[in-house]
Structure formats: C-alpha cells, structure tokens
Structure 1
Amino acid sequence: MRQDWKREYFSVPNLMGYFRIILIPVYLWLYFNASGTADYVKAAAVIGISELTDCFDGKIARRFDLITEWGKILDPIADKLTLGAVILSLTFRYPLMRAVVLLYIVKEGYMLIMGGLMMKKGRHMDGAQWYGKVCTAYTYVMIFLLLLIPGLPAMATKAMIGLCCLIMLFTLASYVLFYGRMRKEAGEEESH
C-alpha cells in the first residue's frame, strides 16, 4: 500500500510537476526585483527550465509507465499556474496584458466548467486540441520576447499582445464549439 502511495504522488514526473510549481515564486522574485536586461534574462531562464521540465515529465511518465491519476491533475495545474503567474506579472510593465489575463481566466474557467460537466456525463478530452497548443505556444513566444527584449518598441509589444488576444479569442470560440459538439453527442447517447 505504501509503495502505491509513493508511486502515485512521488514518481519522477510528479516531482517534476512540483518543481515547476516551486519555480513560480522564483520567477516572480527575479522578475519583480529585476534591475536590468540580465535580470529579465534570468527570469526568462526560469520559465524556460519550467517549460523544458514540462516537455519531459510526460515523456518520462509514458516511457517508464509512471502515468498516475494524480499526475494527470498535477501537470495541467502546474501549466495553468505558471502561465497565469507569468502573464499576470507582465501586466505591471505592459498594461495591455490585462486583456490577455482576462481572456486567459475566461478561457480556462470555461474549459474547467465544461470539462467537469463532460466528466460527469462520462466523457472527457484526450489531451489539448491543436488550437489550444497553438495558443499556448504563441503565448510563450510572446512572453519570452517581452522578457528577453524589454526595450521593444511600444508598437511591437501592442501588436504581439493584440495577436495573443486574437488567438485566445479564437481558441475560446473553438473550445465553445468543441464542447457544444461533445454535449450534443452526450445528449444523443443518453436518449438512445
């Protein structure tokens, strides 16, 4: 019994998930205490380490049969907390990022509610959809550019942030359609 508990909560991939969560306050401290470009590069490096860890935890879990129910919960929590903390921190230098934060909260809140409703009906998503991956990838590219090149012209930052908002809106609309189809299919299955 003890071994099962250890495997469920303390497998290498799950330890990597905990590590990613621990990196959030490290990033925040570096970001808010930055006094120049070198400090922002350090903050970006912490996020880079977090993202590399995210890339490998799933591969390790699958390769060594270390997939756990807790890991399926922990990994997306670490993803959302990391991205949320980073985009929120950027609002202090780039006020337009508030729109990204708002859209992020709406998108993630919607997905959480709909995912819960679908699970109640016995349905679930098998991983992120392509548009969700594109949205996350673009958001991280934008984040790294904003962190690594703090002196970007205002027009460039506004364009990047605006594009991020458009991509998030497209992603939200796509998930609304996706969950609409899932609900319809679940309703049709219940009526048969």
Structure 2
Amino acid sequence: MKINKEEWLKVPNLLSYFRLVLIPIFSYTYVQAESVQDYFLATGILFLSGLTDALDGIIARRFNQITVLGKVLDPIADKLTQLAVAGVLMIRWPIIRYLFILFIVKEMSIFLISYFLLRKGLMMNGAKWFGKIGTIVFYGCMFILVSMPEMSSSNVLTVVIITSFFQVVAFLGYLSVLYRMFAGTK
C-alpha cells in the first residue's frame, strides 16, 4: 500500500483532516456545555462533521479523487468521531457505556480479523451496506442525544437499544464477509 505525495492535499482527504480537528472541539464544547445554546453549538459541530463525512465520499467518487490515504483516513476519522461522541455522552448517561463497549468490541474484532487477512494479501473493498446503515443509525441516534440533553432515561435507553441493534447487525454482517474471505469463498 503506497501513498503518493499528491494524495495528501486532495479535497476529500482535507475534509477528513478537518473532521479529525473537529473531534476535540466537539468534545470540549459538549463537556463544557451549560445552556441550551451550548448544546446547540455541540450539535452543530457534530452536524458539520457528518456533513463533511458525506461530502468527502461524494467528492472522491464524483471527481475521481479516491486515494489509498483516503481509504485509511476516512474510516479512522469515522471511528474516532463515534468513539468521542459515545465517550462524552457516557458522562451524562452512564447507560451509553454498554453501547461504547459494544462499539469497541465490534471495531477491534473487525480490525484484528482484517489485519490477519491483510497479512494474507486479502482486503475488504470498502464499507458494506449494513455497515453504512449501522453508521447512519449511530450518528442519527447520537445526534438526537447530543441535541436533547434533558431526554428521559427511558428514551435514552430506547435510543441505546436501537443503536446497539444496528451495531450488532453490522458486526454480524462484517464477520460473515470476513469469514468468507478467510475461508476463500468470497
């Protein structure tokens, strides 16, 4: 896997760098929030992150700017953003820790299996539909929780269950794909 110098400044990669910069800004803003306006600002930062995530993929495909660096950088920015959002939400709602743990187990398992496949010269080609749905549901639910800091515990539990369900579906889907790759049946 070779990264060319020209890849570093492609627009989709610049958007991924921007998303990485937004992570500590979002985290600080949310943790320090005291008023409705503060939570609204944190919600806006999260929305901007999601918008740049969507734009980097659209621009990469539309303008033929798909790069090796982007294939690595985009999912890293996604996962770090998701970890940060779930991490700061745990401060307000401890029940989020179960979703956080599920997310860590899912991502670490997929990473480790992918690493062993890569050592065998095999690599999954991009995100799958179930992973994309899991990510959309995750962001949607986290967006709701960030924007509604006074949500009741029962509603938070409902959001966590919905998000967890789609995380498990994505996890099982990826395990199936990775197993077939490992078994050589694709």
The alignment's TM-score, normalised by the length of structure 1, stands at 0.89
1:174 and 1:65 mapped to 2: Cα distance?
28
Deviation at 1:82, TM superposition (A): 0.7
Deviation at 1:54, TM superposition (A): 0.8
Correspondence 1:170-189 to 2 at 5 A: 170-185=169-184
Give the gaps of 5 or more residues in structure 1.
none
Give the gaps of 5 or more residues in structure 2.
none
Deviation at 1:66, TM superposition (A): 2.1
Partner of 2:66: 67
C-alpha RMSD of matched pairs (Å): 1.6
1:168 aligns to what SS in structure 2?
helix
Runs of 4+ in structure 1 deviating by more than 4 angstroms, as ranges, are: none
Please say which of residues 134-143 and 172-181 is displaced more in the overlay: 172-181
Q: Cα deviations across residues 40-72 of structure 1 (Å, max 9, x unaligned)?
A: 111111111111111111222222232221111
Partner of 2:98: 99
Partner of 1:48: 47
Correspondence 1:7-156 to 2 at 5 A: 7-156=6-155
Deviation at 1:168, TM superposition (A): 1.8
| Alignment length (residue pairs) | 183
Q: Cα deviations across residues 113-156 of structure 1 (Å, max 9, x unaligned)?
A: 11122222222222212221121111111111111122222211
Deviation at 1:179, TM superposition (A): 1.4
1:173 and 1:12 mapped to 2: Cα distance?
33
Residue identity in the other structure for 1:106: V
2:121 aligns to what SS in structure 1?
coil
Residue identity in the other structure for 2:111: L
C-alpha distance 62-170 of structure 1, shift in aligned 2 (>3 A)? closer
Q: Considering only CA atoms, is the larger Rg found in Structure 1 or Structure 2?
A: 1
Residue identity in the other structure for 1:15: L
1:91 aligns to what SS in structure 2?
helix
Please say which of residues 175-184 and 138-147 is displaced more in the overlay: 175-184
2:126 and 2:137 mapped to 1: Cα distance?
18
Identity %: 37
The alignment's TM-score, normalised by the length of structure 2, stands at 0.91
